[in-house]
Amino acid sequence: MTTMNPKPLQQVLRSAGGHWVGDGFPVRTLFGYDGPLAPALSPFLLLDYAGPARFEPTTARRGVGSHPHRGFETVTIVYAGEVEHRDSAGGGGRIGPGDVQWMTAAGGLVHEEFHGSDFAGRGGAFEMVQLWVNLPARDKMGAPRYQGITAAQIPEVPLPGGAGTLRVIAGQYPAAAQDATRGPTQTFTPMQVWDIRLKANQPLELAVPNGYTTLAVVLHGRVAVDGAAEPLAPAQAALFERHGDGVRLRAGAEDATLLLLAGEPIDEPIVGYGPFVMNSEQEIRQAMLDFQAGKMGRLA
Ligand code: MN
């Protein structure tokens, strides 16, 4: 091991229970923007883990119909199944396993999110993560943007010692190196989003800049973290303190899948209501008025 000064564990985050988003997404919310931890989570606002679940074949459209967003980005990472999306700004597409949709709502749009029609027709395993990433005040009212990122565009690098693999969805790996592998995603503030497969019993040491908000989100297997009473189970996340220059993890007796999220905090007020996250109550009232007046667009 190196001379890393690891970030101490701040808290283990767990879902308070599952709920459905529309009729397509049985989610566990691991964190949200409306609790006392919101400033500590910045720039990340919310994380919903949908599934793993099995769906029977259907001709029905399962998912969530037209709804607005303003002030942030929604990031959808598919592990199994398919998600189809279209929005009032002209963005859209179908994403499958390994693909990512990085949608910037910014000043506002209306969109719908459904299971892909081919997947719905054949049924099967469904699993995805939706992460909400905040925007700095200067970009909250900017133009919407849609980045549809295929698995083939996301570089995968081996972890040291044959411990597994890491896909660089956003940012770069290693975080501080000059010759790092860079992810394809454009972000508004500096961050790392890494999709990690860690083999059973393997340790992992990841450098993450001092001062960054850092979360390890466990999807499969168990992951031990210094300071946690027991290894993290699926649908649990470790929130680390910001000081320190990395994190140390170790997989349990099974292979683990986890997301490592790290970002420079946005030190601005967070005021959210449902699908809108702004900096003040007045901006939230304006978002509701603008949505009702059709200023966020409509789906054709
Ligand atoms: Mn949405």
- Measure 113 CA to ligand 1 centroid, in angstroms: 7
- Measure 232 CA to ligand 1 centroid, in angstroms: 28
- Measure 260 CA to ligand 1 centroid, in angstroms: 22
Q: Quick check: 232 and 251 in contact, CB under 8 A?
A: no
Cα of 28 vs its chain's centroid, Å? 13
Distances (CA, A) of 294 to 70, 220, 289, 290: 13, 41, 9, 6
- Measure 19 CA to ligand 1 centroid, in angstroms: 15
- Measure 247 CA to ligand 1 centroid, in angstroms: 31
pLDDT in tens, the chain (300 residues): 457 899 999 999 999 889 999 999 999 999 999 999 999 999 999 999 999 999 999 999 999 999 999 999 999 999 999 999 999 999 999 999 999 999 999 999 999 999 999 999 999 999 999 999 999 999 999 999 999 999 999 999 999 999 999 999 999 999 988 899 999 999 999 999 999 999 999 999 999 999 999 999 999 999 999 999 999 999 999 999 999 999 999 999 999 999 999 999 999 999 999 999 999 999 999 999 999 999 999 998
User: Which pLDDT score, from 0 to 100, does residue 69 have?
Assistant: 98
What is the number of helices (H) and of strands (E) in the chain? 3, 25
- Measure 56 CA to ligand 1 centroid, in angstroms: 24
| Residue 48: how many other CB atoms lie within 10 Å | 23
- Measure 87 CA to ligand 1 centroid, in angstroms: 9
User: Which pLDDT score, from 0 to 100, does residue 177 have?
Assistant: 85
Global pTM reads 0.97
Report the half-sphere exposure of 67 (CA within 13 A, side-chain side).
12
Q: Which helix (H) or strand (E) holds 204?
A: strand 203-207
- Measure 231 CA to ligand 1 centroid, in angstroms: 32
User: Which pLDDT score, from 0 to 100, does residue 42 have?
Assistant: 98
Label the pairing between strands 246-251 and 236-240. Answer: unpaired
Q: For residue 292, what are the contacts with CB-CB under 8 A and spacing of at least 6?
A: none
Query: Which residues, in sequence order, are bridge partners of residue 156?
Result: 167
Query: Peptide bond before 160: cis, by omega within 30 degrees of 0?
Result: no
